[in-house]
Amino acid sequence: MTPGLELCDPTAETASALRPRTAPLTTLAGSTVALMDIGKMRGDEFIDRLEQLCRERGVATRRYKKPTNTRVAPREMIADIAASCQAVIIALSDCGSCTSCSTHDLNDLDKRGLAGVSVLTEEFRHAFDQQKAAIGFDAAAIYVPHPMQNKTTAELHAFAEESIDRILAAICAASEPTPLEHAA
C-alpha cells in the first residue's frame, strides 16, 4: 500500500445503523418522569409549565437541572435519574452544542432503559438528526418554535401546552395526542 493513500468503500449502506430507542412505557401510572432542564435561559419557565401539566394529568415528575448546557450531564445525575425514574423529558435545546450534549444525555439514559424524548427548537431539527446519526441512536424529539429567549412567559407556557400531548406520547404508548395539536 502506498503511504498516505486511503481507500474508501463506495457502496451504499442498505440498512440503518441507528440503534432503536427504548420502547415507550405502556402506562405512566406508578412511573416517575424526570424533567431535565439543560440550563438554557428561559427553559425553566417552559419546564415549569410542563411540570404543572403533568401534575394535572396525574404524572409524577422529578426535576433535574444540568450545571451547564454545553456539557453532558454529570454521571451522578444520570445515575440518579436512572435509579429514580422510568422516563425522561430533556428540554429545551436551541443551539448546536446543547443539542449535541442533550442527545448524548438522552442516549446515556436510553441505554439504562429509560424511555425518553428531547424537546428542541425547530431550527435545530437537522442538527439533532445529524447527532443521532453520529452516535447511532434513533432518538425521539418534539420541536417547538425558535427562538425561545425572546418569548414571554405566557408564550413559553403556551408552547408547553401545545406540546404536552406529543411529549407524553413519545414516552408512553398509552398517551394519545389531541387532534388539534401542532407545533406553533
Mean pLDDT for 34-63 is 95
- Cis peptide upstream of residue 28 (ω within 30 degrees of 0): no
Going along the chain from its start, the domains and CATH numbers come out as 35-171 (3.40.50)
107: which 3 cell numbers?
442516549
Can you give the pLDDT at residue 11?
A: 56
DSSP code at position 157: H
**What's the pTM value of the predicted model, to 2 decimals?**
0.86
In angstroms, the CA 32 to CA 55 distance is 11
Give the pairing of strands 137-138 and 19-20.
Answer: parallel
Mean pLDDT for 159-166 is 96
User: Which DSSP helix (H) or strand (E) runs through 35?
Assistant: strand 32-37
Average pLDDT in the chain? 88
Q: How confident is the model at residue 9 (pLDDT cuts 50, 70, 90)?
A: low
Can you give the pLDDT at residue 10?
A: 62
> Which residues partner with 64 through β-bridges?
36
Transcribe 64-129 into DSSP letters: EE-S-TTSPPPHHHHHHHHHH-SEEEEEEE-SHHHHHHHHHHHHHHHHTT-EEEEEEEGGGHHHHH
Can you give the pLDDT at residue 94?
A: 78
| Between 83 and 145, the higher pLDDT residue | 83
| Between 162 and 174, the higher pLDDT residue | 162
| Lowest model confidence (mean pLDDT) among 1-10, 23-32, 119-128, 166-175 | 1-10
